Amino acid sequence: MEAKNKDLWVFIETDGDGRARSVGLELLGPGRELADQQGGKLVGIVIGSGVDEAIKSAAAYGADKIVVIDGAEYAHYTTDAYVDAFNTLVEKDTPTTIFIGATNTGRDMAPRLACRLKTGLTADCTGLAIDEESGNMAWTRPAFGGNLMATILCPDQRPQIGTVRPGVFKKGEPDAVRQAEIVQEDIRVPAGRIRTKLIEVISELGGALVDLEGAEIIVSGGRGVGGPEGFEPLRALAAALGATVGASRAAVDSDWIPHAHQVGQTGKTVGPKLYIACGISGAIQHLAGMSGSDCIVAINKDPDAPIFKVADYGVIGDLKEIVPILTEEIKKLKA
Amino acid sequence: MNMLVCIKQVPDTTEIKINPETNTLIREGVPSIVNTFDAFALEMAARIKDANSGSKIVVVSMGPEQAKNALKECLAVGGDKAYLISDRAFGGSDTLATSYILSKAVAKLEELEGKFDIIFCGKQAIDGDTAQVGPELAEHLDYPQITYAVDAFAEGDSVRVKRECAEGYEVLAAKMPCVVTVTKPNYDPRYPTIKTKMAANRAQIPVLTSQDFEIDLQHAGLKGSPTKVKKTFTPNLQKDSVMIEEETCEAAGQKLAKLLGDAGII
């Protein structure tokens, strides 16, 4: 397929209440810069039901144009409805580039869409640039559990599509009075096309959402916390900071905390402003999931733990003593 | 239930080291394993087989001759029949080309083994980490897909799947045939017994090449791959760390809080 314009599209994923999830707004930042370099518009694609809030956010964070597909069939994400709708949009007005957040939803939808369009897709990117030689997007991503980085091009097919890891790019400053061109597209997907049926949604921990990807601060525990009760002081620290609790694979595999809290290659990839790793040794699979954090604090007894290599602040000592003291000090600072 | 499980033989990425002088991966001596998530997918299929008598699990992999070892491991823990898809013309395939080849191989496997009700894949391979082949295979076949499954049950002509989503979990149902990609369930793959291991070692694993099934090689291998690797490099994660080592934990905790406060981080 050939591009019909030089535009760059960003998928603005919405939540159940029609608000934009963080990752789409984050991607409008690099999207703005790269759309300018491509010489096209920055377009936000909003699919959902009752999505006025998401449209406002996309405008405030820098989209020139927002294409909206609004319908009851999009209220809850389904592969078939979203891929059909997105594919219809692309066939109509094929852009040069599409960014999609690498959330569970984005990584469910993007490959199906790319395959239908017979184009290339690069997964879970952490670096976005224009390749100087060819003018293609240069997608940079980790592979081999974070041991290796690869830069991928899609030279001949359009659109070139990438999913981008949440938290790698930080949201810009919103401008509430900024105006964007809004285009409503009337694309309906018949119920018979949607081949998966939602039976129920099970919120983790009695409805308390574990939003690691959107968290600004994460307090994370590993084998060193010692047991399920060892997470209690971490929860107290998280409460004092307004943070979300994360965990390493070792803690999850020991059944100390549910998998929804897991950070790393087999869990969530995160990029908060502050990541406090308590009793986490720092296996490469864990680092792959959190090394994009702005500031990393590591608390560990073992001075040789690999986590200290990626830490901005490293504390050598017993987390069971240090974490409660840190919690008290932070309460004092915030008081 | 007639089930197909797609597996990949991968290097154990937890064992990979970087050569500090050349900054390249040291692959020698790194063991090859069945991709972790594919092993979970096989276990999920095996549990459906246990619950539905008369079920069958066919395991398939695309890769070099050596991948037969991985297939044999699968035959020892639930797989009934295994096939290897192998051809030089398939080398260098990206996810679009790989999923195309697999979709064509599925048609051939269905001639040999009957129509599959569920096709299981691991959510992603731990070497490439793309999580794209499963959904792209579903698209080539025009089947419904359910990704990030943590549990699956067969119910009449449907499969019911619990999957990870932003809210936690959701339960979806889809009519079979269907593609399911699997993340970590709350159970581990079963262990082989001496008996199943010996039987697996004796098993013949047929190899399917591009001559054995209908395929347009324009869409396979490097030629059929829209994405190209421009370069690879090793990441430098090392930071200039401020290390805090005090006489007492109290002093260390206070110092850390002060440093974070002074830096405006909290």
What does the pLDDT look like over A170-216, one tens digit per residue? Answer: 899 999 999 999 999 999 999 999 999 999 998 765 445 678 888 89
Helix axes A232-241, A319-334, angle to 10 degrees: 20
pLDDT surpassing 80 at residue A2: yes
Contact B42, B57 (CB under 8 A): yes
Residue A167 or residue B40, greater confidence: B40
User: Closest Cα partner for B8 from B117, B137, B115, B111?
Assistant: B137
Say which of B139, B174, B244 has its CB closest to residue A112: B139
User: Closest Cα partner for A253 from A276, A275, A285, A277?
Assistant: A285
Say which of A105, A111, A284 has its CB closest to residue B95: A111
Strand order in the sheet with A127-130: A127-130, A137-143, A148-153, B228-233
Give the least confident one: A29-43, A211-225, A304-318, B15-29.
B15-29
Contact B130, B97 (CB under 8 A): no
Beta-carbon count within 10 A of B259 CB: 17
CA distances from B9 to A79, A291, B130, B157, B266 (A): 28, 27, 15, 32, 45
Bridge partners of A89?
none
Say which of B132, B165, B237 has its CB closest to residue A310: B237
Bridge partners of A128?
A139
The tens-digit pLDDT sequence of chain B (266 residues) is 999 999 999 998 777 777 767 767 777 788 999 999 999 999 999 999 999 999 999 999 999 999 999 999 999 999 999 999 999 999 999 999 999 999 999 999 999 999 999 999 999 999 999 999 999 999 999 999 999 999 999 999 999 999 998 878 999 999 999 999 999 898 999 999 999 999 999 999 999 999 999 999 999 999 999 999 999 888 877 888 999 998 899 999 999 999 999 998 88
User: Closest Cα partner for B61 from B43, B91, B38, B93?
Assistant: B38
User: Closest Cα partner for B135 from A265, A246, B60, B124?
Assistant: B124
CA distances from A214 to A159, A271, B69 (A): 28, 8, 42
Answer yes or no: do B168 and A312 touch at CB < 8 A: no
Amino acid, res. B156 = G
CA–CA separation, B254 vs A325, rounded Å?
7
Report the half-sphere exposure of B261 (CA within 13 A, side-chain side). Answer: 15
Q: Identify the DSSP state of B189.
A: P
Give residue A209's pLDDT. Answer: 62
Say which of B148, B162, B235 has its CB closest to residue A149: B235
Answer yes or no: do B227 and A209 touch at CB < 8 A: no
How many angstroms away from the CA of A277 is the closest CA of chain B? 13
Mode of pairing for the β-strands spanning B56-62 and B2-7: parallel
User: Closest Cα partner for B7 from B32, B27, B28?
Assistant: B32
pTM for the whole structure = 0.89
Q: Which residues of chain A neighbour B256 with C-beta distances below 8 Å?
A: 297, 299, 313, 315, 322, 326, 329
How many angstroms away from the CA of A194 is the closest CA of chain B? 9
Contact B138, B144 (CB under 8 A): yes
For A133, residues 6+ apart whose C-beta sits below 8 A from its C-beta are none
How many angstroms away from the CA of A71 is the closest CA of chain B? 20
Contact A145, A288 (CB under 8 A): yes
Angle at Cα B125 formed by Cα A11 and Cα B59, nearest 5°?
A: 120
Q: Which residue of chain B comes nearest to A296, CA vs CA?
A: B241
Q: Which two tokens stand for residue A12?
A: 């603005």
Say which of A21, A107, A317 has its CB closest to residue B131: A107
User: Closest Cα partner for B182 from B145, B149, B159?
Assistant: B149
Longest dimension (CA), chain A: 61
For A177, residues 6+ apart whose C-beta sits below 8 A from its C-beta are none
Give residue B23's pLDDT. Answer: 66
Q: What percent of chain A has pLDDT over 90?
A: 84
Direct distance between the N- and C-terminal alpha carbons of chain B, in angstroms, rounded to an integer: 55
Answer yes or no: do A318 and B253 touch at CB < 8 A: no
How many angstroms away from the CA of B2 is the closest CA of chain A? 20
**Which three-class secondary structure state does DSSP give residue A180?**
coil
Q: Identify the DSSP state of B13.
A: G
Residue labelled with tokens 């049950």: B153
Give residue B71's pLDDT. Answer: 98
CA of residue B63 relative to chain centroid, distance: 13
Q: What is the ipTM of this complex?
A: 0.92
Give residue A146's pLDDT. Answer: 80
**Which three-class secondary structure state does DSSP give residue B192?**
coil
Residue A216 burial (10 A CB sphere; 0-12, 13-18, 19+): middle
Q: Which two tokens stand for residue B250?
A: 């109290």
Q: Chain-wide mean pLDDT for chain A?
A: 94
CA–CA separation, A258 vs B53, rounded Å?
32
Give residue A208's pLDDT. Answer: 54
For B20, residues 6+ apart whose C-beta sits below 8 A from its C-beta are none
Answer yes or no: do A209 and B168 touch at CB < 8 A: yes
Span A257-283, average pLDDT: 91
Residue A111 pLDDT grade (very low, low, confident, very high; cuts 50, 70, 90): very high
Cis upstream peptide for B64 (omega within 30°): no
Mode of pairing for the β-strands spanning B17-19 and B24-26: antiparallel
Span A234-247, average pLDDT: 96
Give residue B124's pLDDT. Answer: 95
Test mutation, A210, A316, A325, chain B, max B CBs within 10 A: A325
CA–CA separation, B233 vs B24, rounded Å?
7
For A232, residues 6+ apart whose C-beta sits below 8 A from its C-beta are none
For A223, residues 6+ apart whose C-beta sits below 8 A from its C-beta are A248, A250, A251, A254, A279, A280, A281
Give residue A204's pLDDT. Answer: 63
Q: Helices H, strands E: what count in chain B?
A: 6, 15
Between chain A and chain B, how many beta carbons pairs sit less than 8 Å apart? 276
How many angstroms away from the CA of A87 is the closest CA of chain B? 13
Q: Identify the DSSP state of A48.
A: E
